[in-house]
Amino acid sequence: MGSILSDWIVAVFLGDSLTAGFQQGPGPMPPRYYPFVNMLESSLRVRLRELGITRDIAVVNQGMDGDSTRGMLERFSRSVETENPDIVLLWGGINDLSSRKTPEEVLPNIVELVERSKAVGATPVVLNVAPVAGSHFNETVLRLNNMTHEYCEETGVMYLDLFSELVDLEGKLADVYSNDGVHLSDMGYKRILLPVFQCLLKIVNDLL
C-alpha cells in the first residue's frame, strides 16, 4: 500500500451508479448526483482531526453508471491501481443481476476484485447489493448477498451489510430511501452514511 508511507490515506470507492450517487429527478426533472462520497470524506477528515490524527484521508469516487462487476474488473487498473489505495470499497452486482446473470456467475467477479485489491496492498471491503422495489427480484439479490457474506467470512474479508439498512418489512427497498425504486434518495444515502463511515474509521485506525 503505497500511500501508507505518506501523510495521506487513500480509499477508493469502486462501483456502479449507486456509488456515483445517481438520482433520478422527480417527473421531468433531470437526474443529479448526490455527493455521498464527498460527504463521507469530509466526515472522516473532521473525525480524524478530533482524534488528534495528523494524517489526512482522500476518498475517491470511482462509481460508473450502469457498470457491472465485469466492467469494474476491466477498469480496475486505471480506476483503482493508479490511485495507489490503502482501502478499496467494492459495491457492485445489481446490474449483473438485472442483466440476468446468476449469483453463481457474479460471485467469481467479486472474489477477483477482492484479490486484485489485496494484490495492490489495499484492504478490501465488500458492500452487499442493496434492495430494489421489486420484492421478487430481491430473492436473487439476497442469494448473491448470502454467498458473498459466506465467502467474506471464510476469508476474513470485511463485509458491510447495506441491504439490511435499506430494506422495509416487505423485503424491498423502502420507499423513503428511493425516488425510482432502484437508486437512493437523499434519505437513502444519509441512511448508509454512518455504517460506511464507521467501517472506514475502523480500518483507518488499524492502519495507523
pLDDT digits (tens, 9 = 90+) for 118-145: 999 999 999 999 999 977 899 999 999 9
CA distance 52 to 32: 36
pTM of the model: 0.94
Average pLDDT, the chain: 95
- CA angle 36–156–139, rounded 5-degree value: 60
Query: Range of 159's domain?
Result: 2-207
CA distances from 173 to 24, 41, 113, 130 (A): 15, 26, 26, 8
- Here the CATH number for the domain that contains residue 62 is 3.40.50.1110
Count of structural domains within the chain: 1
Write the pLDDT tens digit of every residue in 58-104: 999 999 999 999 999 999 999 999 999 999 999 999 999 999 999 99
Banded model confidence at residue 6, pLDDT cuts 50, 70, 90:
low
Using CB atoms within 10 Å of the CB of residue 84, give its burial: 0 to 12 exposed, 13 to 18 middle, 19+ buried.
middle
Using CB atoms within 10 Å of the CB of residue 36, give its burial: 0 to 12 exposed, 13 to 18 middle, 19+ buried.
buried
Mean pLDDT of 160-164: 98
CA distance 172 to 164: 10
